[in-house]
Amino acid sequence: MRKLIITIFFFALVYKAQSQNVKLFADEKIMQKLENQKLMNNPEARHNGSRYQIFQGSSRGTAYAINANFISLFPDMPTYVLYEPPNFKVRVGDFRFKFEAIAFRQQMIQKGVTGYFIVHDKINVPRPK
């Protein structure tokens, strides 16, 4: 009987706590970290980062051919074909940090990709694996 009363009291206490607003008091740095994490988890968030530009020219067909070739070499790497008159640009990757881009450059060298350079861009934040 005593266990039953304690169990009922516990569930009533939990129900009461859920129905009230809870205020969190924490250091400002912790709150900023939580806010940054919330922004990174937003799939529509775009942040400053880097990409490799592997083509720039006036030919749309060439841009899409280079894009298709790159996708065949690196199927998991995001690619973007942009049109900024009068040029088409092919950019690859969503690198938050420069060291990520430098590490990927080694893979491009191994597969024979040439004529690329790093550009700073608004990137789509990659999802954690």
Q: How many CA atoms lie less than 13 Å away from 49 in the CB half-sphere?
A: 22
pLDDT band at residue 14 under the 50/70/90 scheme: low
Task: Transcribe 94-120 into DSSP letters.
Answer: EESSHHHHHHHHHHHHHTT--S-EEEE
Task: Of 41, 127, 28, give the one whose Cα is nearest residue 76.
Answer: 127
Four-point Cα dihedral 100, 97, 37, 46, nearest 10: -100
Average pLDDT over residues 1-8: 72
- CATH number listed for the domain at residues 47-124: 3.30.70.1070
- Where in the chain are the domains? 47-124
33-42, 60-69, 105-114, 115-124: the lowest-pLDDT one: 33-42
Q: What is the pLDDT of residue 87?
A: 95
For the question of whether the overall pTM of this predicted structure is more than 0.85, the answer is no
**Is-contact 41 57, C-beta < 8 A?**
no
Phi, psi of 27 (to 5 degrees): -65, 150
Mean pLDDT score of the chain, rounded to an integer? 82
Long-range contacts of 97-104 (CB under 8 A, 24+ apart): 97/49, 98/50, 101/50, 101/51, 101/52, 104/52, 104/77
23-78 per-position pLDDT tens digit: 666 677 777 777 766 665 665 667 789 999 999 999 999 999 999 999 999 999 99
pLDDT value for 71: 95
What is the average pLDDT across 92-115? 91
